[in-house]
Structure 1
Amino acid sequence: MVASILSFVWADQIHRPDLAVIQDTNDYFLGNLQRDGTYSVVPRTPGGEITPAKLRALGRIGQKYGLYTKITGAQRIDLFGAEAYQLPSIFKELNTEGFESGHAYAQALRTVKSCVGSTWCRYGVQDSVGLAVALESRYKGIRMPHKLKMAVSGCTRECAEAQSKDVGLIAVNYGWNLYVCGNGGMKPRHADLLAENLDEATAVRLVDRFIMFYCCTADFLQRTARWLENLE
């Protein structure tokens, strides 16, 4: 974990042109290379929340640069078709509108998916959006062995699909149930229940420890599901 933090603080591979070549293409351009040679840009929208003003800003930027826009399964808006030379201007405009990188290209936290929770849903028993936003703000930017996906569901109906994520929290009447090491992909794995009926502060502490242990013991490019199978 310390090495992960220092790699971002030092970050010479980002600031020094002579070291830029040691990065992957996606890391260098802060976007995902597509099959036609253009890039996609994914701004961060913590917990899937976005204001009407920010929606208008994304629409304006997408229209200005002729980008194809799509809502992703991770509750984000992906902007496709950006040429490499357009990226600095796009990032500058996104930053001006209050957006930052969603790290869709990075070995780091991608998203914390959430349902609307108890704020709006008549079935919700906890504030899933509030916790999702807090978790995304807490862990964004931390370098990890591989990408990490999280989700928070406001009740056991599980609309956020937390049991298919690396870290998932599901609201119950007495707090939160914590699931770990799930994933989709070509070899899906249902997450394991790690702890039950946690208050929010305890849940966050357990997530802290899980992520630290994963970062310290997993191989590079090893997702949590395969990591756990190797531990077993």
Structure 2
Amino acid sequence: MTDTTYGAKLQRDGKTYAIQTRIPAGIVTPEDLETIARVAKEFRIPMIKITSGQRFLLVGVQEKDIVQIRKELGDLGSATITPGVRYVQSCPGIAYCKNGTQDSISLAREISNEYAGKEFPGKIKIGISGCPRCCGESRVRDIGIMGSAKGWTVFFGGHSGFNSRQGVQAAAGLSSDEVRGLIRRLLTYYKCHAQPKERTSRFLERVGTAWLEAGKAD
């Protein structure tokens, strides 16, 4: 990887790249969509894919175009390949969904902005759901946040993929401010004790959950 290709992922053909956009909480404006469409047309990008993390993936980018495409995308083109918070996905929450009990969109935006560009031992995926239906996939994310009428429940160490596992419940009945504070403590403990490239689920497999139960993250 060079300075030119940083943040872009080499594709199977060994020649072209894919660029992920940064979409906090999965919310885009009409202007964002127009920008993405204009860039795709201008640089003849053959495919735009919506990812599971609620981002747009521009596939088939030529190496010579990467820098200019990022410039044209602006904040949408921020690189997110370093170990850290890759994305914060969210359901519509109480703002729009009839089943929502908590404001997942506002919380997702706040968390996304707080951790943008911060590095951790491994990549971190965060899912926020405004109700127990878990449309934000909260139970299988490194940090999972699920709303109910009683407040937010926070899970830690979830993971999808080949060896999936549900996150361990760290706390329940929290306010949004309390959630942000708990996440800071959880991620501080993880950052201090995790091995390089160790995801939160593997971290829990190695160190156990006693530190969560004993409140060492506080």
TM-score of the superposition, structure 2-length normalised? 0.91
Say if 1:206 and 1:26 are closer, same or farther in 2 by CA, change over 3 A: farther
- Equivalents in 2 of 1:100, 1:137: separation in Å? 15
Question: For 1:38, which of 4, 9, 16 is the aligned residue?
Answer: 16
- 8 Å CA contact 2:87, 2:112 repeated in 1: yes
C-alpha displacement at 1:100, in angstroms?
4.0
Q: 1:222 to 1:76 in 2, by over 3 A?
A: same
In the superposition, relative to structure 1, how do residues 26 and 47 fare at CA in structure 2: closer, same or farther (>3 Å)?
Answer: farther
> Identity of aligned pairs, percent?
33
Give the 4+ runs in structure 1 shifted more than 6 A: none
What is the alpha-carbon distance in structure 1 between the residues aligned to residue 94 and residue 68 of structure 2?
A: 39
Q: Is the 8 A contact 2:159 2:166 kept in 1?
A: yes
Alignment match, 1:101: 78
Structure 1 distance, partners of 2:178, 2:160, is: 27
Pairwise CA distance, 1:28: 5.2
Specify the alignment match of 1:223 in structure 2: 199
Quote the RMSD (CA, aligned, Å).
1.4
> Residue by residue, what CA displacement relative to the aligned partner does 1:8-49 show, whole Å, maximum 9, x if unpaired?
xxxxxxxxxxxxxxxx55995221111112111111110000
2:87 is equivalent to residue 87 of structure 1? no
Q: Which residue pairs with 1:61 in the alignment? A: 39
How many correspondences in the alignment? 206
The answer to whether the 8 A contact 1:107-1:145 is kept is yes
CA distance in 2, matches of 1:114, 1:75: 8
Structure 1 residue 217: deviation in Å?
A: 0.6
AA aligned opposite 2:78: S
Structure with more of its chain in helix, by fraction: 1
The answer to which of 159-168 and 34-43 deviates more is 34-43
Per the alignment, do residues 26 and 78 of structure 1 end up closer, same or farther by CA in structure 2, a change over 3 Å counting? farther
| Equivalent pair of 2:87/2:126 in contact (CA under 8 Å) | yes
CA distance 1:102–1:179, shift in 2 (3 Å)? farther
Residue 76 of structure 1: aligned partner: 55
Contact 1:29/1:84 (CA < 8 Å) preserved in 2? no
The yes-or-no answer on 1:51 pairing with 2:34 is no
Q: 2:125 aligns with which of 139, 149, 152?
A: 149
> 5+ unaligned residues in a row in structure 2: which ranges?
209-218
Q: Which residue of 2 aligns with 1:136?
A: 112
Q: CA deviation at 1:64?
A: 1.1
Shift of 1:110: 0.6
CA distance in 1, matches of 2:128, 2:3: 28
Aligned match of 2:144: 168
| Aligned counterpart, 2:154 | 178
Q: 1: distance between equivalents of 2:104 and 2:186?
A: 20
Aligned ranges 1:206-221 → 2 under 5 Å: 206-221=182-197
Distance 1:73 1:217 in 2: 29
Residues 106, 100 of structure 1: CA spacing in aligned structure 2 closer, same or farther, 3 A cutoff?
same
- Unmatched 5+ stretches in structure 1: 1-23
The reply to whether residue 112 of structure 1 matches residue 91 of structure 2 is no
Q: In the TM superposition, what is the alpha-carbon distance from 1:230 to its structure 2 partner?
A: 0.4
Q: Which amino acid letter does the alignment assign opposite residue 49 of structure 1?
A: I
Amino acid paired to 1:229: E
- 2:6 pairs with one of 24, 29, 33: 29
